[in-house]
Structure 1
Amino acid sequence: MSFWKDLKNAFSGKDPNQAFKERMQQEQQQILDSKDKEGVRDKVITSKNFFTQQIEKTEKYINELNQEYIQKKKEEPNFDFSGYFNDFNIEYSHLIRAKYSKGDEIKTILPDCSILMEVANKFWSPNMDYSDGGDMNLMSLLEIISLGILAEVEKEYFEDLATTIKEKKFQDFVIDYFINSQIPDYPIREKLLIDDNKSVNFFVDILKTEDKIEAVKKLKIYLDKYYYTLENLDYEYNTHKFENGRNFYGYWCWEAGALVNVKGLDDGILRYNQFYPYDFVHWKDKDINKPKKPTFLNE
């Protein structure tokens, strides 16, 4: 029967091997798709190629920004460079998230966390009053400090940041709590810069929960119900859905990992939550030799 079918296709001008070719193409595509997903941590866009492109794009922009910064510093050494450092903060945040989402080894991400902490000590504008929060993005600062804790950056970064925050009269319970975890004599003030946010208030409740089992149960609720919300993520909410994910780098709740680190919680029940950075919390379990401290912007 196959002979007559192939003969008929031959006379009709159809390729008798078309079905076989299509099947082989499908199988090859399945293999490529499988390789593209292999090792990817992000559960929203599970494509290694996608995050590779995000990393390359971000690194290119960082290099361009670096060159512009260096040139500007030569031309106007007294210029207020806080805007540059704010941009560096954004881009290094993107870079860290994209690398982690892609599945890169943690040891390759640790130096970026040190740079992010160093940037945090530079992007406070000398002319801005931050006593009421100013233009400081609280969630960005929380992300920076959380990554600093997870990466175990040198204490001097936290000391410098604490000095700057005191000078700027910046107060927030969550920020104070995490800085205090690294510098025990740093005061924890009760003030909340954002006191009408359900996510923030629930997170504060977890910080104040002394019982470790109860704290990790609440943290699971936070990750399941409070973290991925428009109220909490603001402009980053649903970025994977717009412009083919052009501004998406991964939704990672670094503060949850920092909290587990600080409180010494058993995070087994959080391991498979799509927003919890389990591998970053446990990088020392793999006996990774920490890279040497990087030098920021050739300084």
Structure 2
Amino acid sequence: MKLRDELNNREGYQEIIEFYTSSINEYEQEIELLLEYEKKGIQKYSNPNLEIIKSTKEELRNAYYKILKSMYSKGDTIEGILAIYLKLISYFTETWKKSNGYVQMLEMLSIGIMLKIGDKDFKLLIEAVKKDDPQDLLIDTLISYRDENWKQLSGKLMWNKPYKALQEVIFLAKEDKNLSLERLHKYLKKEWFRGAVEIQTHKSKFNIHSGYWSFESGALVKILELDDATLKDQQYYPYDMVHYKE
């Protein structure tokens, strides 16, 4: 299958997938062992077992997410990516905090919308947001699309860079969908990479590039009912994820 992100090669993405798959096996075995120790009242490390379990689940969350992005970038099937996403949700929602995970929550909600995950799974994301509510326009917009009872709609953004442009995309869509689409196109072409990518992983001497994707752009296209035909070949835009099962 054709690469979706050509800034790494098929072998490179596969190497990342295999590395994190092996890591997941080790993390899950460690959690099982620590739970057994906890039942017996034995401390394996100087820090409490439950504290180590929590930090290990955070590592699991990051590992599954690296696999998901690498699979999508490599050109794997959406069905395979969905399976990894559903495994990721439980670890993600259990360990998420807005202080260090805003972008990941934005992406998880966006992917969930594009992949049309079930209400039960999407509710896990909503409950995680409720516990540590970032009061953010984008997150509120994504949630309210799937949950009509989500009444709050913040007028502010946690991060203006680069997401201020998406506030304009949302407001423009109420008056003129063509102008909204034009603003989104500019965001993808000129603004998203500069503002969202802190580390240019494709330039590293190590094989760490799992892909660059503006998943939030795809979700907004679905929510705002924009015609994204002109975005099909736009770098960073997850076109086939947007059109999954259409």
Q: Which bin holds the TM-score, normalised by the shorter protein?
A: 0.7 to 0.9
- Out of 157, 177, 183, the residue aligned to residue 212 of structure 1 is 177
Task: Determine the structure 1 residue equivalent to 2:188.
Answer: 223
Residue 164 (structure 1) shift: 3.2
TM-score (norm 2): 0.86
**3-state SS in 1 of match to 2:95:** coil
Cα pair distance change 1:189/1:39, threshold 3 Å: same
- Which of 136, 149, 163 in structure 2 is aligned with 1:200? 163
- In structure 2, distance between residues paired with 1:106 and 1:189: 32
Letter in 2 for 1:122: E
The answer as to whether partners of 1:96 and 1:109 remain within 8 angstroms in 2 is yes
What is the TM-score normalised by the length of structure 1? 0.72
Partner secondary structure for residue 203 of structure 1:
helix
1:30-57, CA deviations, whole angstroms, 9 ceiling, x for partnerless residues? xxxxxxxx62221222x22221112111
Unaligned ranges ≥5, structure 1: 1-37, 125-129, 286-299
1:180 to 127, 144, 153: 144
Confirm whether residue 154 of structure 1 aligns to residue 118 of structure 2.
Answer: yes
The percent identity for this pair of structures is 28
Residue 142 of structure 1: how far off its partner (Å) = 0.7
CA distance in 1, matches of 2:239, 2:156: 30
Q: Which amino acid aligns with 2:109?
A: I
Is this contact kept in 1: 2:5–2:211, CA < 8 A?
Answer: yes
**Distance in 1 between residues matched to 2:74 and 2:123, nearest whole Å:** 32
Instruction: Provide the C-alpha distance between the structure 2 equivalents of 1:76 and 1:193, rounded to a whole number of angstroms.
Output: 38
The secondary structure found in structure 1 opposite 2:226 is coil
CA deviation after TM superposition for structure 1 residue 261, in Å: 1.7
* 1:79 corresponds to: 50
Deviation at 1:117, TM superposition (A): 2.6
The count of residues paired between Structure 1 and Structure 2 equals 233
- Segments of 5+ residues of structure 2 without an aligned counterpart are 40-48
Per-residue deviation, 1:168? 2.8
Instruction: Quote the RMSD (CA, aligned, Å).
Output: 2.0
Partner amino acid, structure 2, of 1:273: Q
- Corresponding residue to 1:145 among 90, 109, 116: 109
- The answer on 1:255 being equivalent to 2:216 is yes
Moved more, 49-58 or 113-122: 113-122
Deviation for aligned residue 1:181: 0.9
Task: Tell me how far apart the structure 2 counterparts of residues 136 and 169 of structure 1 sit (CA, whole Å).
Answer: 13
Aligned partner of 2:42 in structure 1 is none
Decide whether aligned partners of structure 1 residues 207 and 69 sit closer, same or farther in structure 2, where only a CA change above 3 A counts. Answer: farther
* Structure 2 counterparts to residues 80-99 of structure 1, below 5 A: 80=51, 81-99=53-71
The alpha carbon displacement at 1:268 in A equals 0.6
8 Å CA contact 1:84–1:123 kept in 2: the answer is no
Structure scoring higher RCO (CA < 8 A, sep ≥ 6) equals 2
| Contact 1:271–1:278 (CA under 8 A) maintained in structure 2 | yes
Structure 2 CA distance for partners of 1:168 and 1:283, relative to 1, 3 Å: closer
Q: Secondary structure at the match of 2:20?
A: helix
Computing the radius of gyration from Cα coordinates, the structure with the larger value is 1
Distance 1:53 1:282, change over 3 A: same
85 and 191 in structure 1: CA distance in 2 versus 1, 3 angstrom threshold: farther
Runs (4+) off by over 4 Å: none
